[in-house]
Amino acid sequence: MQIQAVKGSIALDDAHSVRSILSAYEEITLIEGATQNSSIVHFRLYNNEFVLFCPDRADPSSKASIYILNESSFNYPHIMLNGVEVNDNLGLPKGKYRSICLFEAGSMIFSMQSYEEKIIDAIERLISLLSLTPLEIEKELQKEFLFYWDSAASGEVIDLYLGSYEKFTMLDYYQNQKNVRCVKPDLQLNDIDEYKSGRRVWQKRIDIISFYIPILDNRGIIPPNKDHHWKISEITELIFGKKISHISTSTLQEMKDTIVEKSTIIIVFGLTTDIATISFTVKIKCRNSNQKSLLQKILEDATEVEELHSIRRDYFSLNKNIGNESDMLGKKTLLVGAGSLGSYVANELVRNGMNNLTIYDGDILSIENIMRWSYGGLWVGHNKANVLKIALESFHPEVHITAYDHNIDRKLLISELENAGLIIFTVGSSDTQLKLNEVLKENGCNVPVLYVWLEAGGEYSHILKIDYNEDGCFECLYTDYNGEILNNKANIESAQAVEISTIHNGCGGTRVAYGTSVLLRTVSALLNVMREIYKGEMKSNCLVNISSGETNNLGSDFSEKECKCCGKADPI
């Protein structure tokens, strides 16, 4: 927080207007003579002194700011903890200034308010803030709980991997040269068993024991502050309160049943406030390592408590924070094809809550691929599926990729059906798609299948959603109403347009000239289709056409009753 002397002054009529506004409030008393600057108003409200910094009339986006003066009390919401000492040199009232947060970031468009409205709005918000009931104060402090907690916390930062678990549990405590982790036991981290120079990177500490304890009743829980740390009494009240049962009876019983013989205990509390569930961590020092129940250890042997910095880093929490659906978390997805489109699909699947992928692709990344391959040119000469495994697993330790450096075949696809919850094809070969489509139909595939492809011209793309228990399959796109095989009738691009966009390379093959825009819009449409599937909003099979201008769901009209794979015609 910086406070600088205000250069110049506002017009006299503005200064008169501001003082007239404040004088209209019976609760406010103007303090004269403290400053000669007419853009600053010094006043008293509810036995506290405040300084109002007026908005800049020349800047429509500016706002009025208010500071509390010479008030060191920590336990009032939205009054910033750190203060700035101001002397006579700045031409301001002397004392310690602490900023007051009156506006939530991004919640106001100040350019739409008049100068007078900005003053009135700031004063009304200040009066409303200072008029909170004790219960409202408690709720507001809990909204800013981690802000206050972090101001009091010290020591190392603990990374928390808790998942969606909301019950009492013992956590695994790991440490490397720089970081500390508390991990829910059934969360599998892809780097936890790594070795470097013959030594495990992550060491499991056996001298420290850690637990997660959910708090069900948040009444009366006030965060600490750098000037007011929690003591053992706050911890015992939280766990074994006489007036309020903050934890459940089952949690209390489990604490009685859990035997501890350590002198250092780490506890991660989960606190549900009006706006979110937050986690905060304490280190409890005990006078000895005698064997007792966890509850007895805290009530009888605890001598010291230290607030610790901790950060939720688990995949569930990160997805929840940005509004990702949790339906895909932990479900295994089979991705066939890791080329240009497949690389973008894999990347976005992981970023949208899918952390268990199996990828098949026998192709090698070449220099011609890198401009439209999601991970660039660092991996030229390496298998695409293996590269995706390395890149995606480095994205987050809870991401698990099974990569195969060869193409999938009939036998492999049948074996994958046992575990896959979703199958996505992003291969460019129609022959491959037709062949595997038949395998899925014959073997009674019971999971959603998505065929995703770009047309040869690189302008249009398509998504075919198939449930093999319903009418329609991929071969329907190649079948007329008589069951005769023809070219893919879903394609929109003309043969001439395809030829114009094709780059021929002699016997080395051909490439289609297209950029990444078609890849991005196709992946975006795919994510929307998947979201509808997992929400149960897309039950019928459908064909989705995607162009630069629009995305059209054509429904199940593509289905041909005489298709030799899924229709009524006799197989050849």
Q: Please give the pLDDT value at position 3.
A: 58
Q: Please give the pLDDT value at position 137.
A: 92
Average pLDDT, the chain: 88
Tell me the pTM.
Answer: 0.85
At 444, the pLDDT band (50, 70, 90 cuts) reads very high
Q: What is the pLDDT of residues 137-153, one digit of tens each?
A: 999 999 989 999 999 99
3-state secondary structure of 183: strand
Q: What long-range pairs does 481-490 form, CB within 8 A, spacing at least 24?
A: 481/560, 481/561, 481/562, 482/562, 483/560, 483/562, 483/563, 483/564, 483/567, 483/569, 488/430, 490/462, 490/464, 490/543, 490/545, 490/558
pLDDT tops 70 at residue 319: yes
Q: Please give the pLDDT value at position 500.
A: 44
Indicate the residue type of 127.
I
Bridge-based pairing of strands 449-454 and 422-425 is parallel
User: For 210-220, what is the mean pLDDT?
Assistant: 94
Q: Please give the pLDDT value at position 490.
A: 83
Range of weakest confidence among 179-193, 421-435, 472-486: 472-486
At 323, the pLDDT band (50, 70, 90 cuts) reads confident
Tokens matching residue 513: 């000239």
pLDDT tops 70 at residue 438: yes
**CA–CA dist 43, 248 (Å, integer):** 48
Q: What is the pLDDT of residues 90-140, one digit of tens each?
A: 678 888 999 999 987 667 788 888 989 999 999 999 999 999 999 999 999
CB 547 within 8 A of CB 459: yes
User: For 424-443, what is the mean pLDDT?
Assistant: 94
Q: Please give the pLDDT value at position 241.
A: 83
